[in-house]
Structure 1
Amino acid sequence: MLAFIGRRLISSIIVLIGATFIVYMLLSYSIDPLEDLRTSTSPNKEALIEARVRALNLDTPPAIRYLLWLRGASGCVVGVCDLGTSWITNQPVTAMLSTALPSTLQLVLASTVLAIGLGVVVGISSALRQYTGFDYGVTLMSFVLYSLPSFWVAVLLKTWGAIGFNDFLRDPTFSVPVIIGASLVSGAVWSALVAGDARRRTITFASAALATGAAMAYLSSSAWLLDPSLGPVVIGVLGAAIAYGVSVVTAGTRNRRALFSALTMVVLGVVLYVPLQYVFAGASTPLILGLAVLTVAAGLLVGWLFGGPDRALSMRAAAITGIGVGALLFVDRVMGAWQVYSNSSRINNRPIATIGSQTPGLKGDYWVSTLDTFTHLLLPTIALILISFAAYTRYSRSSLLEVMNQDYIRTARAKGLPERVVIVRHAFRNALIPLATVVPLDIAALFGGAIITERIFAWSGMGTMFLTALRASDANPVMGYFIVAGSLLVLANIVVDFVYAALDPRIRVNA
């Protein structure tokens, strides 16, 4: 194992050195840091040019300059990192990266996790319903979303998702034609998802349409959007749905212990709803993370206490359900800050932001700042999800269809295994192997910044730093950007090998 890791690290360092050398040489011959001075009419033009040449070592051959840069960059291995200084801002590149990288991480983390999760779930559902109306609809939607230009999607989101919705909040009521149209669309979607015979489709269509219409009528009459909340009743209902879904997928419908352990976590969440409001009063990020860890520990304990021949299934179902219920409690508390946030003088009842990562001068507690972060993340996250979601849907669908036609799947069915076991334990795990190649590389690439999305939403991340430096012919920030993106990509390749070994026992990383 250690020998394998050592070989991969050495080869990755060699690749990274070669790549940085090529990029540095291309920058040296393609950009001109003296361009603005050459066209200057300043009387001391020559002196300014000479000073910049000395400051940037432009009278030194590019290969020598690269070696000087590499000497400083190699110090990053021992924690003494020197990637040069930006001559535009006179800031060390490491300081610029320390500001841009967390901003990009904040932007791409949620979008990547959601895109992968939704894409895999929808893709697998589409594969299991091959050649049905749902499958054709998902295929059409995936191709449409994949072909959409990201800048066009971002502009539409700003126009309708922010400006349009903020205008709608002045009088958040739905007209009767809108309610009817939305109910019919909801009914059609749910009937396609559930599938079955004509009678089952009709019942699903009617139930979904009536539920959607009733919900929209309630939202319109109660002005819920002006002061939203979930409350213990809604949390209990949604939590029960999560518990049932998790237990069915992870343990099956016959494992009552797993279902009861998951429902126990829902009951605990509802019972602790009021006491947690006092705990949330002094909330902070460490406190929320600590509560999350306690929730997982409580779920594992509940599943273990229920016992049974396979305690691991009960523990898993309870822990996952606890995370879901905890997320609902967190969202409910964030919703509680909506009215205070929206009525703030800085927001002026237009809560959905279109630019930046935070509202300047906004004052408030942890929940107000969390809600402000969410409203700024909403639109760029949706823009990134829509593009990535389509690709992951197609990957997961094609991968599962290929696996379902394998001999070992037919053998598992011939042995009499339940279909849930065949899909979850045999097909799904092997269907993830092709995704293991794509996902780590996509995540690493996203840390380089979503340049177009960041530009449209004025997000000061890695992409914006790269674009600004390239336009200003500032080589050091560009190299800083590349060293981060390149390092993450070579590390992602190493991670892929370990993911392969985890998914397929036949693969050995020390081979």
Structure 2
Amino acid sequence: MLAFALRRLLVSVPILILSTFVVFVMVSLSANPLSNLITRNPPPPPQTIAAETHRLHLDQPLMERYWNWITGIFRGDFGPSVNSTMDIGSEVISRFGVTFRLIFLAMVIALILAIVVGAVSAVKQYSKLDYTATFFGFLFLSMPAFWLAVLLKQAGININNTVGDQVFYTIGASSIYVQGGFWAHLGDVLGHMILPTISLALISYASWSRFQRGSMLEVLNSDYVRLARAKGLSRGVVMRRHALRNALIPLTTVTALDLASIISGAVVTEKVFQWQGAGTFLLDAIAQSDVYAVEAWLLISATFVILFNLVADLLYGVLDPRIRHA
């Protein structure tokens, strides 16, 4: 297993290096960090523009800028921001800390729901339960992420107005002032995560449950499952050890590939619920043409996507020993 993990890790390193180059070149050529400064009225003096050009390293060739950027990352320097008072490294890491707690919880909930609903729907194919799960799956699958987030936020506001109390938090990732100790702050953070997590989880659950159902149906109709039943194994043992375990392999692939879309969905969800997370950081950086901030955001996202796919490769070996011994 260790050799299998090392091989996958060695394959991931050049992919990550190539992704940093693609990210830097595409973002650097897509925007001018001096655009907001140049378009001011009255325009700034040429000395100010020249000083800002030098501070942002725009007077260097593209490849030299890339080398300085990639080597600076190892020292914790993600490059200069158009906002001279902001440290991109500390800011983007703290913002991603807020965002990834939302993504992690949403993915866990979506995976549990998808596995349970998909497996039960496959076992009880064409039953009322299967038709009901199919209906809600396609319903959530057809909803854009922003629209579902808006509906949940409005529903939370209406419930709060009806009850006359704060039942659901609809703005921000936490309250400004929270009285009490650790548990009071934890409860406040979890309370703010309810609606955004549900919004993000339902979108992912919808597609994953349909995929799990199809994968489970294919496994249930396979020869080795029929052989296990013919040997006299109980239905529960056949489902857990043979059917479900093998049906999880395709779902693992889909989950790893969907991480990028989940991160993009979190950007929209954070905007709707007014979270100061990585999504807001990205949108503000794009609006200000802050190319180094955008590059830092994309680099961290690409790193997590590659790492998550590496974890998925390792899970293949856990779910199917034939893969790690191949």
**TM surpasses 0.5:** yes
Residue deviations 1:125-170, cap 9 Å, x none? Answer: 111110112211211211111010111111111111x211112223
CA contact (8 A) 2:282 2:297 kept: yes
Q: 1:110 aligns with which of 95, 105, 112?
A: 105
Q: What secondary structure is seen at the aligned counterpart in 2 of 1:464?
A: helix
Q: 1:420 aligns with which of 236, 240, 243?
A: 236
Q: Cα offset for 1:366?
A: 3.0
The change in CA–CA distance for 1:11 and 1:505 in structure 2 (over 3 A counts) is closer
For 2:138, the aligned partner's letter is F
- What's 1:247 paired with? none
Q: 1:131 aligns with which of 123, 126, 149?
A: 126
| Residue pairs, 1:395-410, within 5 angstroms | 395-410=211-226
- What's 2:159 paired with? 165
| Residue pairs, 1:117-196, within 5 angstroms | 117-160=112-155, 162-170=156-164
Please state if 1:388 is matched with 2:199.
Answer: no
Q: Cα offset for 1:452?
A: 0.5
For 1:103, the aligned partner's letter is V
Q: Cα offset for 1:433?
A: 0.9
Q: Which runs of 5+ in 2 are unaligned?
A: none
Distance 1:67 1:501 in 2: 37
CA contact (8 A) 2:96 2:277 kept: yes
Please state if 1:376 is matched with 2:192.
Answer: yes
Q: Cα offset for 1:4?
A: 4.7
Q: Tell me whether 460-469 or 424-433 shows the greater mean CA deviation.
A: 460-469
Residue deviations 1:236-257, cap 9 Å, x none? Answer: xxxxxxxxxxxxxxxxxxxxxx
User: Which protein is bigger by CA-based radius of gyration?
Assistant: 1
Q: What secondary structure is seen at the aligned counterpart in 1 of 2:322?
A: coil
Q: Which runs of 5+ in 1 are unaligned?
A: 171-348
- What's 1:60 paired with? 60
Q: Cα offset for 1:449?
A: 6.8
For 2:267, the aligned partner's letter is I
CA contact (8 A) 1:448 1:485 kept: no
Q: Tell me whether 1-10 or 425-434 shows the greater mean CA deviation.
A: 1-10
The change in CA–CA distance for 1:111 and 1:425 in structure 2 (over 3 A counts) is same
Distance 2:205 2:175 in 1: 29
The change in CA–CA distance for 1:142 and 1:381 in structure 2 (over 3 A counts) is same
Please state if 1:83 is matched with 2:78.
Answer: yes
The change in CA–CA distance for 1:47 and 1:432 in structure 2 (over 3 A counts) is same
Q: Cα offset for 1:41?
A: 2.5
CA contact (8 A) 2:8 2:313 kept: no
The change in CA–CA distance for 1:422 and 1:378 in structure 2 (over 3 A counts) is same
Q: 1:365 aligns with which of 156, 160, 181?
A: 181
Q: Cα offset for 1:444?
A: 6.5
Q: Cα offset for 1:100?
A: 0.7
- What's 2:29 paired with? 29
With a CA cutoff of 8 Å and minimum separation of 6, indicate the structure with the bigger relative contact order. Answer: 2
CA contact (8 A) 2:219 2:247 kept: yes
Question: Could you tell me the TM-score, scaled by structure 1's length?
Answer: 0.61
Q: Cα offset for 1:7?
A: 4.3
The percent identity for this pair of structures is 41
The change in CA–CA distance for 1:148 and 1:444 in structure 2 (over 3 A counts) is closer
For 1:33, the aligned partner's letter is P
Distance 1:60 1:85 in 2: 14
Distance 2:5 2:215 in 1: 29
Please state if 1:98 is matched with 2:105.
Answer: no
| Residue pairs, 1:457-468, within 5 angstroms | 457-468=273-284
- What's 1:14 paired with? 14
Distance 1:154 1:21 in 2: 34
Q: 2:266 aligns with which of 450, 455, 458?
A: 450
- What's 1:42 paired with? 42
Distance 1:407 1:4 in 2: 29
Please state if 1:355 is matched with 2:171.
Answer: yes
Distance 2:230 2:2 in 1: 42
Distance 2:2 2:320 in 1: 20
Q: Cα offset for 1:448?
A: 6.6
Distance 1:120 1:354 in 2: 29
For 1:164, the aligned partner's letter is N
Q: Cα offset for 1:98?
A: 2.6
CA contact (8 A) 2:106 2:197 kept: yes
The change in CA–CA distance for 1:461 and 1:90 in structure 2 (over 3 A counts) is same
CA contact (8 A) 2:145 2:265 kept: no
CA contact (8 A) 2:140 2:203 kept: yes
CA contact (8 A) 1:403 1:427 kept: yes
Q: Cα offset for 1:3?
A: 5.2
Residue deviations 1:57-116, cap 9 Å, x none? Answer: 11212221111111112x2xxxx3221232225322220123112101221221111111
For 2:11, the aligned partner's letter is S
Q: Cα offset for 1:402?
A: 0.2
For 1:120, the aligned partner's letter is I
- What's 1:478 paired with? 294
For 1:38, the aligned partner's letter is I
- What's 1:212 paired with? none
The change in CA–CA distance for 1:476 and 1:94 in structure 2 (over 3 A counts) is same
CA contact (8 A) 1:445 1:489 kept: no
Question: Could you tell me the TM-score, scaled by structure 2's length?
Answer: 0.93
Distance 2:279 2:201 in 1: 17
